[in-house]
Amino acid sequence: MTGLAAHHKMLMLFAGVGALLVVASAIGWALARRVATPEGRATIDNLNARIRAWWVMIAIFAVGFLLGPAATLILFALTSFYTLREFVSLTPTRAADVPPIAASFYLFLPLQYWLIWTEWYGLFAILIPVYAFLLLPSLAALTGDVQDFLLRVARLQWGLMLTVYCVSHAPALLTLDIPGYLDQRFFLLFFLIAVVQMSDVLQYVFGKLFGRRKVAPVVSPSKTWEGLIGGGLSATALGAALWWMTPFTPLQAAGMAFVIVAMGFLGGLSLSAIKRSMGAKDWGTMVKGHGGVLDRMDSVCFAAPVFFHLTRFFFTP
Amino acid sequence: MIDLLLIGATRFLVGGAPHWVGCEPTRRQRIYFANHGSHLDTLLIWAALPAPLRGRTHPVAAADYWGGEGVMGRIARDTLKAVLVNRAGGAEAGDPLAPLRDMLAKGESLIIFPEGTRTTERLPGPFKSGLYRLALDFPQVELIPVYLENPGRAFPKGALIPVPIACAVRFGAPLALGAQEDKAAFLARARAAVSELAP
């Protein structure tokens, strides 16, 4: 199957995902007609809102594929923009933070994506960890406001690292020079997003069906061991089943999927802890049924850089 | 065209979703009064109104900032259809409320910031008396408290450019001037009505 042309594979993929969503929508519709208790109705409404948001996301993905890498980069840059906006909006800021915030949005965010476009890997990898790390506190210090200085600078750096640096590693997969795979790099991105999101959905479903023991009740009350193990292993298996679209063998695909699932879980947990330390339940209200955009991207934040570097280390010359 | 660009840019940068907490958007003549922390405030309330109401609702803006011939002046005059007031005052300036009364007499609605100047606090400071005098002279006009969340963080006093921090516009329940209510009591009540809308 690895011999299939790229657009042929893509057609199969969208047909597969489309069929999956049709089944999910039908189940959601049937459940909504059967459920009687108000508590059950709330769960089903939540499920159906998630499924609807899924349709929108897959449509956006299709547009990105059809219009090419530039469109995909712009879509991810917009995602970084909105998630950074959600992060900064929820974080307490002072007037003196405006210059470093402006530099984050108007300088580092576009620059990071431009570096992917020009495939300048060396600067892409250090722009934010080195240059933003040093410039942001400098800009804040120049204003002379020292109240909560370290806290304010650290929060902004966390936001920029997560929403711009980490997220940008997903579209950066399109720049990896894997021999014999140059026209199919879009599938690496698809593989990453598909495994992360299937893992999220399956953990939610397994947790609702069998969840008893909570992993971290204070941080994230909805995460259970049953959901994590059941959903995580199913997502790993589904990831392995997608090996034909990747440069990996089935076993390698399973290993990669496992790492993505594990990192995604840790990302969800860490961002939940950050969110709760700021006294909020959702990052925003942008996506119906999904809270904010960052609520959907939290797993990608942690999974994308690790998947990118593992693939780069083992599969590029 | 300019108005759509302006609204698009506002939504993209700072959001500004309207929350009709205590009233609905209607064609009734109204004075919207809000806390003031940023030059984005005028734009945010104006953009939060449904299109049919936008054309008949005029922000009240300071002539010294919005009255020039530059881009800001053009936007204020041609797009926002602002009413310019002279903050300097003085005997020769006459009644600073006169242009506002003219607008209300024509049946148009107004957006005003009773603090008179931008503040850095989350909750509004003391109100100036203009709101009371307008309420006294135009009892048929509905007074709507509005709380603006975050514009003072997105574009604080002294900042060169606005940054993307999500803002919200919360419209409260109409307020009426009591029959025997004196100026200080009414202004304190109006200020509290805005503060209560803060999340």
Of B157, B160, B164, the CB nearest to A105: B164
Using DSSP bridges, classify how beta strands B57-62 and B167-171 pair: parallel, antiparallel or unpaired. Answer: unpaired
A211 occurs within a structural domain = yes
Residue bearing the bigger pLDDT, A18 or B137 = B137
A81/B contact by beta carbon, under 8 A: yes
Q: Is the dihedral of CA B174, B178, B184, B189 positive or negative?
A: negative
Domain boundary, last residue among A16, A34, A67: A67
Report helix, strand or coil for B84. strand
Å between B10 CA and nearest CA of chain A: 13
Of A85, A95, A101, the CB nearest to B166: A85
Å between A92 CA and nearest CA of chain B: 9
CB B167 within 8 A of CB B154: yes
Q: Is A26 exposed, middle or buried (0-12, 13-18, 19+ CB in 10 A)?
A: exposed
- Residues A126, A155, single domain; the answer is yes
B52/A contact by beta carbon, under 8 A: no
Closest CA to A302 of A277, A255, A266: A266
B157/A contact by beta carbon, under 8 A: yes
pLDDT in tens, A230-278: 999 999 999 999 999 899 999 999 999 999 999 999 999 999 999 888 8
Residue A88: its chain B contacts at CB < 8 A?
163-165
Residue A106: its chain B contacts at CB < 8 A?
161
Closest CA to A162 of A263, A76, A267: A267
What pLDDT does residue B114 have? 94
- Residues A186, A152, single domain; the answer is no
- Residues A158, A233, single domain; the answer is no
Number of domains composing chain B: 1
CB A58 within 8 A of CB A21: yes
Do B153 and A102 count as a contact with CB atoms less than 8 A apart?
A: no
B185/A contact by beta carbon, under 8 A: no
Q: Is A287 exposed, middle or buried (0-12, 13-18, 19+ CB in 10 A)?
A: buried
Instruction: Report the distance separating Cα B149 and Cα B197, nearest Å.
Output: 9
Residue B156: its chain A contacts at CB < 8 A?
95, 98
Number of domains composing chain A: 3
A274 occurs within a structural domain = yes
**Please, what is the Cα angle at B167 between A77 and A75, to 5 degrees?**
15
- Residues A274, A242, single domain; the answer is yes
What pLDDT does residue A1 have? 44
- Residues A29, A78, single domain; the answer is no
CATH number of the domain bearing residue B161? 3.40.1130.10
Domain boundary, last residue among A44, A67, A90: A67
Residue bearing the bigger pLDDT, A223 or A109 = A109
- Residues A145, A34, single domain; the answer is no
Q: What is the ipTM of this complex?
A: 0.89
Residue bearing the bigger pLDDT, A171 or A295 = A171
Of A98, A284, A285, the CB nearest to B159: A98
What pLDDT does residue A2 have? 47
Domain boundary, last residue among A135, A168, A201: A168
pLDDT in tens, A55-75: 877 887 788 878 888 999 999
Do A98 and B156 count as a contact with CB atoms less than 8 A apart?
A: yes
pLDDT in tens, A39-50: 778 778 777 877
Residue A249 lies in domain: 178-317
Instruction: Report the distance separating Cα A137 and Cα A159, nearest Å.
Output: 14
Closest CA to B153 of A149, A150, A102, A177: A102
Instruction: Report the distance separating Cα A90 and Cα A84, nearest Å.
Output: 10
Å between A283 CA and nearest CA of chain B: 11
A173 occurs within a structural domain = no
pLDDT in tens, A190-240: 899 889 988 988 898 888 888 888 888 888 887 889 999 999 999 999 999
Instruction: Report the distance separating Cα B175 and Cα B76, nearest Å.
Output: 28
Q: Which amino acid is at A296?
A: R
pLDDT bracket for residue A3 (50, 70, 90): low
The percent of residues in chain B predicted with pLDDT above 90, rounded, is: 70
Mutate to test the interface with B, among A78, A85, A101, A286 (most CBs of B within 10 A): A85
Residue A105: its chain B contacts at CB < 8 A?
163-164
Residue of A nearest to B157 (CA): A95
Q: Encoding tokens for residue A276?
A: 């709760």
- Residues A63, A73, single domain; the answer is no
A314 occurs within a structural domain = yes
The phi-psi region of residue B116 (left if phi > 0; otherwise alpha if psi is between -120 and 50; otherwise beta) is left
Residue A80: its chain B contacts at CB < 8 A?
none
For residue A150, CA distances in Å to A92, A135, A163 come to 13, 14, 20
Residue B136 lies in domain: 2-196
pLDDT at residue B89 is higher than 50 = yes
Put simply, the chain A residues between 20 and 59 with a CB less than 8 A from any chain B CB are none
User: What backbone torsions phi and psi does residue A155 show, to the nearest 5 degrees?
Assistant: -60, -45
Instruction: Report the distance separating Cα B68 and Cα B27, nearest Å.
Output: 31
Do B163 and A95 count as a contact with CB atoms less than 8 A apart?
A: no
B153/A contact by beta carbon, under 8 A: yes
